[in-house]
């Protein structure tokens, strides 16, 4: 699979990406990729260290003639989001990603590709390995667990890095130069109920499936109007709330991925079957019409299934369905200061109801701390009114834009020169980059973020554009050659 990828230009970049994608690297399970990266640095004879939390730092001296330039840090994260289609047989813990070329795109077969942030990692590896690429003193920082908590960036101690400029390679639009990002907080609501046994006589059960949604990045794509499987499922169940008893719900997967699928099992009186199906089919047509532009493959399927042993009491069912209906999902506020920037949003990422337990997981993002906590408290209040206990965790700060950045002033004219006068899009993004966290312990470090075109990150539709990678690679080499001199 990787052989055709290795023929792409620039070969140095794509070969390192193929090497990396052969290594399983789920968040929280980065042992193998940490060893892979340490072995890589040591094989090159470069100073290589692993810090207390598992971040890997590789240091390479400046090339000849670049000793007078400011030292830099090039940074990307080692872990990747693991998502696959329901009908894809794949074990992320043991298998490497199966890649292929489709026109101008590199894709994976039924899974996420790992271009987020594997192309950034591969870029740095190619530069570390090269004897021909000019660069100043370089520290390569490979962080862990960016996708599920940013614990690598949080655990990186101050004073360990010596660089004055940080190049973060985790942006997904090749015409964008990132100067700021959103912070985030995980919100988890938990509840309990006493399961009720059901009488089998005169009862039927249906499995309700919401599937075929695109999914995607819960920060970068939250404004696109994509369907959220958890909200769609809740809308269906709410429409028949008086006539059903819920046995279970299982929707969504990762906190930072817009939910693509949800499945529930409901019980009802057999004489209500025709009425229920009429309501559900009618509503499903309405929802598909609403989402037809963004979600043409959306399906809502209702099929008879075996009766479960227990269901939720009606009161508990009513409380949680109403809370999920009221809970905000999507854009909460646009930035009043930066055009077209989502300031604050929420993703209702995970809903699990089964065997007496309720768990709802959300990821709230904002570039303004007070707005982040305002929405977090609104969600907390909503679920507490439904009788749930609500926990805040994993809070991380945003990255405040610095339009006076010295490296920004270097990169903008380089971009324009390489692209026939086209101006780059200098912007903050609604994703959770590690720059905000790293800036806490390195407040004087000049930071910037950029990268190649990557579409559909955090979903099995993830793809990396080949022509964009070539454009990005040339940009990287020019930036390294023009790092400012030391003061």
Strand partners, 303: 207
Pick from 243, 249, 251, 248: which is nearest to 275 by CA?
243
Residues tagged active-site: 79, 146
Pick from 274, 266, 54, 14: which is nearest to 149 by CA?
54
Tell me how far apart the alpha carbons of residues 290 and 240 are, in angstroms, rounded to a whole number.
Answer: 20
Taking each continuous run of H as one helix and of E as one strand, the counts in the chain are 12, 23
Q: How far is CA 52 from the centre of its chain?
A: 25
Tell me how far apart the alpha carbons of residues 177 and 166 are, in angstroms, rounded to a whole number.
Answer: 13
**316-353: b or e for each residue (b if 16 or more CB lie within 10 Å)?**
bbebbbbbbeebbbbbbeebeeeeebbbbbbbbbbbbb
466 contacts 105 by C-beta, under 8 angstroms: yes
Is cis: bond before 465, omega within 30 of 0? no
CB atoms within 10 A of CB 139: 20
Pick from 10, 117, 130: which is nearest to 60 by CA?
130
Tell me how far apart the alpha carbons of residues 247 and 160 are, in angstroms, rounded to a whole number.
Answer: 52
235 contacts 325 by C-beta, under 8 angstroms: yes
Tell me, what DSSP letter sits at residue 242? G
Phi and psi angles of residue 396, each rounded to the nearest 5 degrees, phi first: -140, 150
Phi and psi angles of residue 53, each rounded to the nearest 5 degrees, phi first: -100, -10
Tell me how far apart the alpha carbons of residues 74 and 450 are, in angstroms, rounded to a whole number.
Answer: 11
Tell me, what DSSP letter sits at residue 65? T
Tell me, what DSSP letter sits at residue 62? P
Tell me how far apart the alpha carbons of residues 294 and 59 are, in angstroms, rounded to a whole number.
Answer: 45
Tell me, what DSSP letter sits at residue 322? H
Phi/psi-derived region of residue 409, left when phi > 0, alpha when psi is between -120 and 50, beta in every other case:
alpha
| Residue 248 CA: distances (Å) to CA of 128, 236, 307 | 51, 14, 12
CB atoms within 10 A of CB 28: 12
Pick from 55, 98, 58, 97: which is nearest to 80 by CA?
97
Phi and psi angles of residue 285, each rounded to the nearest 5 degrees, phi first: -65, -40
């Amino acid at each position: 699979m990787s052989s055709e990828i290795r023929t792409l230009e620039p070969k140095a970049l794509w070969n390192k990406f193929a090497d990396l994608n052969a290594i399983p690297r789920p968040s929280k399970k980065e042992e193998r990729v940490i060893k892979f990266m340490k072995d890589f640095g040591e094989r090159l004879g470069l100073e290589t260290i692993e810090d207390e939390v598992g971040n890997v730092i590789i240091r390479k001296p400046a090339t000849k003639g670049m000793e007078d330039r400011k030292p830099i840090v090039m940074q990307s994260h080692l872990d990747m989001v693991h998502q696959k289609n329901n009908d894809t047989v794949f074990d992320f813990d043991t298998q490497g990603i199966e890649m292929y070329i489709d026109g101008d795109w590199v894709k994976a077969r039924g899974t996420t590709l790992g271009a987020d942030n594997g192309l950034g990692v591969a870029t740095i590896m190619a530069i570390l390995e090269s004897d021909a690429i000019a660069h100043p003193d370089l520290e390569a920082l490979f962080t862990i667990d960016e996708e599920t908590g940013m614990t690598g960036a949080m655990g990186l101690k101050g004073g360990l890095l010596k660089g004055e400029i940080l190049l973060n390679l985790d942006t997904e639009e090749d015409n964008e130069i990132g100067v700021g990002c959103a912070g985030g907080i995980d919100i988890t609501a938990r509840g309990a109920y006493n399961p009720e046994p059901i009488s089998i006589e005169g009862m039927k059960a249906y499995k309700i499936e919401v599937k075929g949604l695109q999914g995607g990045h819960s920060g970068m794509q939250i404004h696109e109007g994509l369907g959220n499987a958890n909200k769609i499922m809740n809308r269906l169940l709410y429409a028949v709330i008086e006539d059903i008893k819920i046995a279970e719900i299982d929707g969504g997967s990762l906190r930072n991925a817009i939910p693509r699928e949800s499945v529930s099992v409901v019980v009802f009186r057999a004489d209500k079957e025709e009425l229920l199906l009429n309501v559900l089919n009618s509503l499903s047509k309405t929802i598909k019409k609403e989402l037809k532009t963004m979600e043409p493959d959306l399906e809502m399927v209702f099929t008879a299934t075996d009766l479960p042993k227990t269901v939720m009491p009606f009161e508990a069912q009513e409380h949680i369905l109403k809370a999920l209906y009221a809970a905000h999902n999507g854009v909460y506020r646009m930035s009043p200061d930066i055009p077209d920037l989502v300031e604050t949003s929420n993703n209702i990422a995970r809903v699990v109801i089964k065997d007496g337990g309720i768990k709802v997981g959300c990821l709230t993002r904002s570039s303004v701390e007070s707005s982040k906590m305002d929405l977090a408290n609104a969600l907390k209040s909503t679920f507490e009114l439904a009788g749930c206990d609500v926990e805040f965790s994993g809070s991380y700060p945003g990255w405040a834009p610095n339009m006076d950045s010295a490296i920004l002033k270097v990169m903008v004219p380089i971009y324009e020169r390489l692209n026939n006068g086209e101006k780059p899009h200098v912007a903050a993004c609604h994703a959770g980059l590690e720059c905000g966290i790293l800036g806490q312990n390195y407040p004087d470090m000049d930071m910037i973020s950029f990268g190649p075109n990557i579409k559909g990150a955090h979903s099995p539709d993830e793809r990396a554009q080949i022509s964009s990678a070539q454009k990005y690679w040339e940009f990287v080499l020019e930036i390294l050659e023009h790092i400012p001199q030391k003061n």
